[in-house]
Amino acid sequence: MNNLLSRCRAAVALVVVGLSVAACQRQAEPVGNAGSSSAGNAAPGALAPLPGRESSAPALTQKVSINMQTTAGELVIEVYPEAAPNAAQRFVELVKSGFFDDTPISRVVPGFVAQFGVNWREPHKAWENRTFKDDTTYFALERGTLAFAKAGPNTNSTQVFINYAENNRLADPRFNFTVFGKVVSGMDAVDRFVQVGDPSGGLDQERLWSDGGAYLESLAVKPSMIERAVVAQ
């Protein structure tokens, strides 16, 4: 059943403004300060409200900084708990667990998104089907912002995408992809991520989840890799 779910999720394609969005995915403690010394005041305007949501978007008074080392360079990601509590909680929890370490950037669509978040190793693989509920979408999907990929309502789990460009169409209530953070340093590294697999869908997710090590070894063109992600101290 789990393999069937994975195949179904990997095959989902949302046709949005002429783009086939295979934003397939795979939860966390209410972050607040995330219990970390890295939490602090978010910079004013860290995220831009969606058009029409200016009066309802919550104030961003907290942030959690994540350092992510990749084979393309280092990223600094700021996570804003008030922007999307469930997503922020899950992302920070995955970072703290080491889930993203030594995992590939599995999907790169230039001008659209870069996606990551599959770890086939134990004990990390158990996260694959631990879904969490959608947050309300308040903030714009601008270049550098992060959101969880999913295959339908409330199916967020482990996969995350970074926007290469403004993708506000994904905030449409039909899709409700929700921004929870932003790359504040290192977008030049994101731009260097290697495009692998299918030009739109990226690597085969079922194969990644089932035997990712052997699958990556078999590839003639290797993906960019996340070497380590940590909560900044």
Q: Sorting pLDDT into bands at 50, 70 and 90, what band is 40?
A: low
The pLDDT tens digits of the residues spanning 182-195 come to 999 999 999 999 99
The pLDDT tens digits of the residues spanning 49-70 come to 999 999 999 999 999 999 999 9
Contact 10, 209 (CB under 8 A): no
Q: Is the pLDDT of residue 151 over 80?
A: yes
Q: Which domain holds residue 99?
A: 2-231
Q: Is the pLDDT of residue 91 over 90?
A: yes
Rounded Cα gap, residues 99 and 22, in angstroms: 22
* Averaged confidence pLDDT in the chain: 86
Contact 193, 202 (CB under 8 A): no
Nearest to 180 by CA among 215, 140, 223, 123: 140
Rounded Cα gap, residues 148 and 134, in angstroms: 9
Of 8-17, 72-81, 112-121, 175-184, the range with the lowest mean pLDDT is 8-17
pLDDT of residue 4: 37
The three-point CA angle 75-135-131 to 5° equals 80
Contact 66, 229 (CB under 8 A): yes
pLDDT of residue 192: 98
pLDDT of residue 11: 32
225 HSE (CA, 13 A, CB side): 13
| Contacts of 159 by beta carbon, 8 Å cutoff, 6+ apart | 24, 25, 26, 115, 116, 117, 118, 148, 149, 150
Rounded Cα gap, residues 159 and 149, in angstroms: 5
CATH of the domain at 87: 2.40.100.10
pLDDT of residue 129: 92
pLDDT of residue 24: 43
pLDDT above 70 coverage of the chain, percent:
80
Adjacent-strand bridge partners of 26: none
Q: Is the pLDDT of residue 19 over 90?
A: no
Q: Sorting pLDDT into bands at 50, 70 and 90, what band is 136?
A: very high
For residues 19-37, average pLDDT: 37
The pLDDT tens digits of the residues spanning 157-203 come to 999 999 999 999 999 999 999 999 999 999 999 999 999 999 999 99
Rounded Cα gap, residues 129 and 14, in angstroms: 21
Instruction: Count structural domains, the chain.
Output: 1
Indicate the pTM of the whole model: 0.85
Contact 177, 147 (CB under 8 A): yes
| Contacts of 152 by beta carbon, 8 Å cutoff, 6+ apart | 12
* φ/ψ (deg, to 5) at 148: -80, 135
